[in-house]
A and B are shown apart, each in its own frame.
Chain A
Amino acid sequence: MSWFTDFPELSRETLVSIRKSLDGAYRGFSREYGENIEAFFDPLLTFLVWFEKLLLATPWWLMIGVIALITHLAARSWRLTIGVIIALFLIGLFGMWEDTMSTLSIITVSTLLSIGIGIPIGILMARSDRTQSIVTPALDVMQTMPAFVYLIPVVMLLGIGKIPGLIAVIIYAIPPVIRLTNLGIRLVDREVLEAAVSYGVSPWQKLWHVQLPLAMPNIMAGINQTIMMALAMVVIASMIGVAGLGQPVLRSITNQYFALGLFNGLAIVVLAIIFDRVSQAYAKRSQAYLGGRE
């Protein structure tokens, strides 16, 4: 065999021993620390289970009322509120209420966590080029690595269910909010910042009162993308045992029940639209004072 025609690859034995030793190391790690890591996530799991039970135990009319109220407070638009009520009612009518509530609970928690973790990371990235050069490739990996590559190791560590599902959703959904927070802050006009500094603002005031408000349209776009991507992961999360709308979708695609798949898919879309319209309307309202700016 010549290196000229064949790629000089490592021998099969070497490759196998590399793979086996990495797998063995991971197994050892999982055996050693698995229980502690599981215990670390226990409070979060308890909260997730509690939140899901809360949503499921709430009577449907109260739940629709609460969601409609939140929608109305955020968006102040009767049209949107009525649309949300009708959409939720249709979901219930087609027998998808419980699955929708399960999905709603895990998506709400993972979106809030994504935003809570993502925005600070984005701010750090905007403040330091070095952080940006480290975080950006990490985000690329998170967005492109096929989910099952890291999901099955996570299942070995934490078992199937909500926590691995949550981790999968966050890994996939967090990059947009980080990227756009970073971008938004970096795009804030230099002259505005100079003006603020000349007024003698502290770094904290500069961030809180100047940079973040001016970056808000970008940050909201990031949050919007994060919500959409979190909902897109519902089916993948179901593949590791997360209850919700993903399970009927899986059942329908393996059995080719197209209508069942379509109904549940549409329920996911409805959730996405509610999340999106509400957050966008809220953002638009809260930024209305920026309207006068060029």
Chain B
Amino acid sequence: MRNKMLVLMSSFFLLSACGESADTAKTTPEAAPAATEMAEAAPSCGKVTIAEMNWSSAALMANVDQFILKHGYGCDAQLVTGDTMPTGTSMIEKGEPDVAPEMWSNSLREALDKGVAEKRLRYAGDSLSDGGEEAFWVPQYLTEKYPELATIEGVKKHVAMFKHPEDPDKSMFMGCPAGWNCQISAGNLYRALKLEDAGFALVDPGSGAALSGSIAKAYERQEAWFGYYWAPTAVLGKYKMTKVDFGSGVDEAHFKACITNADCAEPKPTMYPPSSVQTVTTESFASKSPAAYDYFTKRSFGNAQMNELLAWMEDNQADGTVAAEYFMKNNRDNWSQWLTADVVAKVDAAVAKL
């Protein structure tokens, strides 16, 4: 999972937001709806730091949040580079940054839950309303040719197709990089589905970049590929893949009890349940700026829409800033639902100036 990407951030980008303090006074309480939470909206929201994680969808969300907080709520919103582990830990321990727009929370569930229990953090809402989608995939061009590949039985039947470059007797099942949470779940499912007996070797790609690189290589040459990946991601937005059905449905209890556990003795096949991808804020931000916090409870993307946006980013090699501008200009229907009428008006004015 991307949350485990251990890309060491060597530098901190502090995108300074400046000259917006004049707007702050305009956030008046009477503009808010009757909801009590909103009525307490402070006139000023102050400085907010938003974690910009090092993958595309999170960068997009962070930039959209920055734009809306800055122009709609008059916050001095700044972006801080981050990654799931370091950002999560820093939010719990130090109370900064204030907002993590896309937190794959399963990876540090215990620590986050503890932070919430100790009133240091709040789960504001789901960043991805459908949840993160993990699965084993095969490229779509394969299922077009061999429709039976959409099920695990079909994949086992065509085992010879998935050549292992280093071992002619085996086939390649691309697992999850060493150390990521999904390495455990993919390994257990590999055992549960008896892929080894079918002739598949579990290959460790070593890093997220190598995993996506291997998909890109297979896709460019229309080769067979079978392995673990997750959505919504730029990779699955760009390279159409079919989810392999295990024919087992989702057994969430077993998944939590055994599949995600390194010591799982007898793993049984189950599809991945949706993993929750949440917006997490610090308690101090939530209590200081309830109006802005309210925005985070509503801000949410569907997977189909996110995949589309990611594909656009990929096609245009856009970074978060550019993608956020594109989103703000073209998806008013979406973001206007997250905001109250007066905030929409302010954001509209800012979008018009883009």
Contacts of B6 in A (CB 8 A): 250, 253-254
8 other A-B residue contacts (CB within 8 Å) besides A20-B317, A240-B205: A30-B220, A49-B167, A156-B213, A156-B220, A160-B210, A239-B177, A250-B207, A253-B6
List residues 141-191 of chain B with CB under 8 A from any CB of chain A: 165-167, 177-180, 183
Q: Name 17 A/B residue pairs within 8 A (Cβ), A-sorted.
A: A12-B322, A16-B316, A16-B317, A30-B221, A49-B167, A152-B213, A155-B214, A162-B166, A239-B177, A239-B207, A239-B209, A240-B206, A240-B207, A247-B204, A250-B178, A253-B6, A253-B179
Chain A 205-244 interface mask (CB, 8 Å, partner B; 1/0) = 0000000000000000000000000000000001111110
Counting CB contacts under 8 A, is A252 at the interface? yes
Question: Are B209 and A152 interface neighbours, CB within 8 A?
Answer: yes
Alpha-carbon gap, A23 to B6, bound state (A): 25
A148 within 8 A of B: yes
Q: Which residues in B have their C-beta under 8 angstroms from that of A250?
A: 6, 177-179, 206-207
A255 / chain B contacts, CB cutoff of 8 Å: 179
By DSSP majority rule, is chain A's interface helix, strand, loop, or mixed? helix
Residues from chain A with Cβ under 8 Å of B221 in the complex: 30-31, 34-35
The answer to whether A159 touches B217, judged by C-beta atoms less than 8 angstroms apart, is yes
B317 near A241 with CB under 8 A, answer no
Chain B residue, CB-CB nearest to A35 = B221
Q: How large is the interface on B (under 10, 10 to 19, 20 to 34, 35 or more residues)?
A: 20 to 34
Residues of A within 8 Å of B166, CB to CB, are 45, 49, 161-162
Contact with B along A23-39 (1 / 0, CB 8 A): 10001001100110010
7 pairs of A and B residues whose beta carbons are closest in the complex = A254-B179, A155-B213, A239-B207, A251-B179, A250-B178, A251-B178, A239-B206
A138 CB to nearest chain B CB (Å): 24
Cβ of A30 and Cβ of B217 under 8 Å apart? yes
Inter-chain contacts of A238 with B (CB < 8 A)? 178, 206
Interface readout for B212-223 with A: 1 if CB under 8 Å, 0 if not? 011011001100
B4 within 8 A of A: yes
Is there an interface contact between A155 and B217, defined as CB atoms closer than 8 Å? yes
Task: Check: B203 CB closer than 8 A to any chain A CB.
Answer: yes
Q: How far is the CB of B181 from chain A (nearest CB, A)?
A: 9
Residues of B within 8 A of A251 (CB): 178-179, 183
Q: Does any Cβ of B come within 8 Å of A285's Cβ?
A: no
Q: Which of A12, A45, A160 contacts B203 (CB 8 A)?
A: A160
Using known A-B contacts A19-B317, A155-B217, A247-B206, determine if residue A161 contacts B165 with beta carbons closer than 8 Å: yes
